[in-house]
């Protein structure tokens, strides 16, 4: 059985031709799935009964199912979704004025092991395929249409569970599907891919025809701190990361976003701010300061409001463009770094106990 949702338009046309159908039949099917959000062959009203019967024999439309929707007091909604093999992933819808941003997952769990992140505690179970990535968007659109018909999905961020660049081929296929004007038709300018810094894949992404905005989870002003909280830094340190970013072909008027999770007593001093400013000088960028969202599995605390203010003011004084990200959905564990497949009220997986500093993750 071939999963049609995971295919690009070209692949679907090839599939149609392999069935002995004209190429345009493939485009019809693709439009049903990606422009109209069809979840069954029965919804494809311009296909004949024989075509639908054949489709049911040889293909499926890979669908996620909604296991749970949790709504935060700030309006953020977290959807826990099940894949066909029973894996559980999460996506978050964040309303802000007229805008609605969706944060989507790219893997079941994650191998990168950032020390402050709840997803890391799951380890990596598997990659999501391209169909499972795009279906998160279609389910969110469906939910919005059913519950808030006046609200549109405006922005998409690959910042949920997983490291998108560690699932490179499916990431790029999903971007091609979502931005195709005959499909979901999202603008690449409104899509952001966030990475912990897989340097070779960053370089590869720069050569793709579809190029989303780039966010980099930096979180430290020097290698000593980053080695400690993001073991991937032992493989690709800050200077290698920044060299790749400086070479990244940014389009006009775009800049790189650096995410900086502020951890009390770890990376939030004025000296850290000064070192950060020096580090990023000359890079077209902005910095999102994210006060840490505590969860019981990591030994960190959120800095006081005064410490957050002082850090941001120092950054501004030193000429950096900074934005303070107010935690959204933290009462339902939907805020940044909290996604961990926790059903309503249930505890997270047991904490892995490790002796010594974390080793570099096994990612390429
Ligand atoms: S922050 Fe992102 S890359 Fe790091 S462990 Fe969590 S999900 Fe993976």
Q: Which of 108, 116, 118, 120 to mutate to test the pocket of ligand 1 (most atoms within 8 A of CB)?
A: 120
Q: Which of 13, 63, 90, 314 is catalytic?
A: 90
Which atom in ligand 1 lies closest to the alpha carbon of residue 160? 7
Q: Nearest 5°: phi and psi at 216? A: -125, 125
Contacts of 238 (CB under 8 A, 6+ apart): 218, 220, 222, 223, 226, 279
Please give the class, per CATH, of domain 65-332. Answer: alpha beta
Alpha carbons within 13 angstroms on the beta-carbon side of residue 311 total 32
| Helix ranges (DSSP H) in 35-180 | 49-58, 130-147, 168-179
CA atoms of 163 and 167, how far apart (whole Å): 7
Q: What is the pLDDT of residue 4?
A: 97
CATH 3.20.20.70 boundaries in the chain: 65-332
Please give the class, per CATH, of domain 2-60. Answer: mainly alpha
CA atoms of 81 and 264, how far apart (whole Å): 33
Q: Which of 90, 92, 117 to mutate to test the pocket of ligand 1 (most atoms within 8 A of CB)?
A: 117
Q: What is the pLDDT of residue 77?
A: 96
- How many C-beta neighbours within 10 Å does residue 254 have? 15
**Cα(24) to centroid of ligand 1, in Å?**
41
Q: What is the pLDDT of residue 364?
A: 75
Alpha carbons within 13 angstroms on the beta-carbon side of residue 241 total 27
Average pLDDT value over all residues in the chain: 92
Would you place residue 102 in the very low, low, confident or very high pLDDT band (cuts 50, 70, 90)? very high
Percent of the chain with pLDDT over 90: 84
229-272: per-residue pLDDT in tens?
999 999 999 999 999 999 999 888 899 999 999 999 999 999 99
**Cα(274) to centroid of ligand 1, in Å?**
26
**Cα(111) to centroid of ligand 1, in Å?**
8
37-75: per-residue pLDDT in tens?
999 999 999 999 999 999 999 999 999 999 999 999 999
140-150 average pLDDT score: 95
pTM: 0.92
Contacts of 144 (CB under 8 A, 6+ apart): 93, 100, 151, 152, 153
| Residue 59 DSSP SS3 | strand
The answer to whether 113 touches 121, Cβ cutoff 8 Å, is: no
Closest C-alpha residue for ligand 1 atom 7: 162
């Amino acid at each position: 059985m071939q999963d049609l949702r995971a295919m690009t338009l070209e692949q679907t046309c090839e599939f149609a031709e392999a069935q002995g159908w004209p190429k345009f039949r493939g485009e019809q099917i693709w439009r049903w799935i990606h422009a109209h959000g069809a979840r069954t062959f029965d919804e494809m009203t311009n296909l004949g009964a024989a075509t639908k019967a054949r489709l049911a024999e040889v293909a499926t439309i890979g669908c996620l199912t909604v296991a749970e929707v949790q709504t935060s007091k700030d309006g953020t909604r977290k959807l826990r979704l099940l894949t066909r093999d029973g894996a559980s992933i999460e996506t978050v819808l964040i309303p802000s004025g007229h805008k609605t941003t969706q944060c989507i997952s790219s893997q079941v769990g994650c191998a990168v092991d950032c020390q402050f992140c709840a997803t890391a505690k799951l380890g990596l179970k598997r990659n999501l395929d391209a169909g499972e990535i795009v279906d998160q968007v279609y389910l969110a659109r469906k939910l919005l249409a059913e519950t808030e018909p006046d609200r549109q999905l405006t922005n998409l961020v690959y910042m949920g569970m997983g490291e998108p660049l560690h699932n490179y081929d499916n990431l790029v296929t999903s971007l091609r599907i979502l931005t195709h004007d005959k499909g979901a038709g999202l603008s690449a300018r409104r899509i952001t891919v966030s990475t912990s810094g897989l340097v070779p894949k960053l370089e590869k992404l720069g050569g793709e025809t579809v190029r989303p905005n780039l966010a980099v989870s930096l979180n430290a002003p020097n290698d000593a701190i980053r080695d400690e909280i993001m073991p991937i830094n032992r493989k690709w340190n800050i200077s290698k990361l920044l060299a790749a970013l400086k070479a990244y072909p940014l389009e006009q008027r775009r800049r790189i976003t650096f995410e900086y999770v502020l951890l009390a007593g770890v990376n939030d001093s004025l000296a850290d701010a000064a070192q950060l400013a020096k580090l990023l000088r000359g890079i077209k960028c902005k910095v999102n300061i994210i006060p840490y969202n505590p969860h019981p599995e990591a030994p960190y605390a959120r800095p006081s409001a005064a410490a957050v203010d002082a850090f941001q003011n120092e950054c501004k004084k030193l000429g950096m463009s900074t934005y303070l990200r107010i935690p959204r959905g933290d009462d339902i564990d939907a805020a940044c770094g909290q996604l961990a497949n926790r059903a309503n009220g249930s505890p997270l997986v047991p904490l892995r106990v490790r002796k010594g500093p974390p080793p570099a993750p096994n990612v390429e």
